[in-house]
Homo-oligomer: A and B are copies of this chain.
Amino acid sequence: MTELKNDRLLRAIRRQPLDRTPIWFMRQAGRYLPEYRAIRAKAGDFITLMSTPELATEVTLQPLERYPLDAAILFSDILTIPDAMGLGLYFVEGEGPKFSRPLINEQACRNLATPNISDSLDYVFNAVASVKRELSGRVPLIGFCGSPWTLLTYMVEGGASKDYRATKQLIYDRPELAHEVLSKVCNALIDYLSNQIQAGADTVMIFDSWGGVLSNPAYQAFSLQPMQQVIAGVKANHPDTPITLFTKGGGQWLTDIAASGCDMVGLDWQTDIHLARQQIGDRVALQGNMDPTLLYAQPEVIRAEVGRILQGFGHGSGHVFNLGHGITPQVNPEHVGSMIEAVQQLSPQYHA
């Protein structure tokens, strides 16, 4: 294994002393970059782009060519797992992801296959290995997956949803059947993250994009508990690899999230990082949490907001600067530069 030249991310997650706060951001390899749009046009479609290791590698590295970021995150999609489980992922331009064989009834749930992850998702692990080679220790590589609950919503609804009606009917009316499906997804995710780590991912993150649409007891039972299972399973295989858990809209459940076994908690922008640190920051690291829409503001406003968030976390290691959700396509790449520069310039004082 190549030694990391920049290990700020891993040191921050482990709350070890640092020179400054590290920064990467969600969807940093994405549509706001003209070079991304160019390769996306060349590839023709999103699935080709993410499932061709050379292309996924190039896209993963694009933001690192442009900005002095402290981490790379694999260019992929959370829906690779349901696809590998046989649901048939496809994309409709302007409508987002769809499944041709969603879990429309009990039989579909019972028949859900537990795939051989190493074989069916070898394109992902090949991409991880390829990115790792190209990085040659420059910065750490982040692997990821969707949370079991978040994946369940896509698997049951057959795509994105407004009110998650079918998935909620499943958990409310048939909790045992929901748990049966979630359990299969958990097993697949444990294999998936373990294989990503095996292939070279230095740390992994679980994206619970839709945990925030649940009531507290439903969140505990159908989102957090399965995530704990995934974390425990991955930790059994790779005890030293740090794991980040991010529930969008989970600000009210931070204490429970911090007790999940994860090493770092991702914060959305609605959560106050100062209060979050008071509540849980002595147990885990915190990642976040600038409003992505703030990147549409003027550079001096961006700089002030970066300063506010750094000050909110305060002194010491344990903070990874990030957005509170993925960057949006219309952002001016120069504004991203302002954010990164502000983190570099304003954060050393908190590590003195």
- Measuring CB to CB, which residues of chain A are less than 8 angstroms from any residue of chain B? 163-165, 168-169, 172-173, 212-219, 249, 251-252, 269-272, 275, 291-294, 296-298, 301, 305, 308, 324, 328, 330
A163 to chain B: which residues have CB within 8 Å? 292-293, 328
A298 to B301, CA, bound (A): 50
Besides A172-B293, A212-B270, 10 other A-B contacts (C-beta < 8 A): A165-B296, A168-B291, A168-B293, A168-B296, A173-B298, A214-B270, A214-B291, A215-B324, A216-B272, A252-B252
Q: Of B164, B165, B213, B298, which one neighbours A270 at CB under 8 angstroms?
A: B213
Q: Check A168–B294 contact: CB distance below 8 A.
A: yes
Q: Which residue of A172, A212, A269, A272 has the most chain B CB atoms within 10 A of its CB atom?
A: A172
Count of identical protomers in the assembly: 2
Q: How far is the CB of A266 from chain B (nearest CB, A)?
A: 15
Q: Is the CB of A271 within 8 A of B291?
A: no
The secondary-structure label for the interface of chain A is helix
Q: Report the minimal beta-carbon distance from A179 to chain B, rounded to whole angstroms.
A: 16
**Across the interface, do B215 and A172 meet the contact criterion of CB distance under 8 Å?**
no
Distance (whole angstroms) from the CB of A207 to the closest CB of chain B: 18
A281 to chain B, nearest CB (A): 16
Q: Which residue of B lies closest to A251 (CB)?
A: B252
Residue of B nearest to A331 (CB): B165
CB contacts (< 8 Å) of A252 on chain B: these are 251-252, 270-272
- The distance in angstroms between the C-alpha atoms of A270 and B223, with both chains bound, is 13
Closest B-chain residue to A292, C-beta based? Answer: B163
Q: Which of B217, B270, B272, B297 contacts A169 (CB 8 A)?
A: B297
Which B residue sits closest to A169, measured CB to CB? B296
Least distance between A338 CB and chain B CB atoms (Å): 13
Given the interface pairs A215-B291, A252-B252, A291-B215, the reply to whether A173 lies near B272 with Cβ below 8 Å is: no
Q: What's the least CB distance linking A105 to chain B, in Å? A: 16
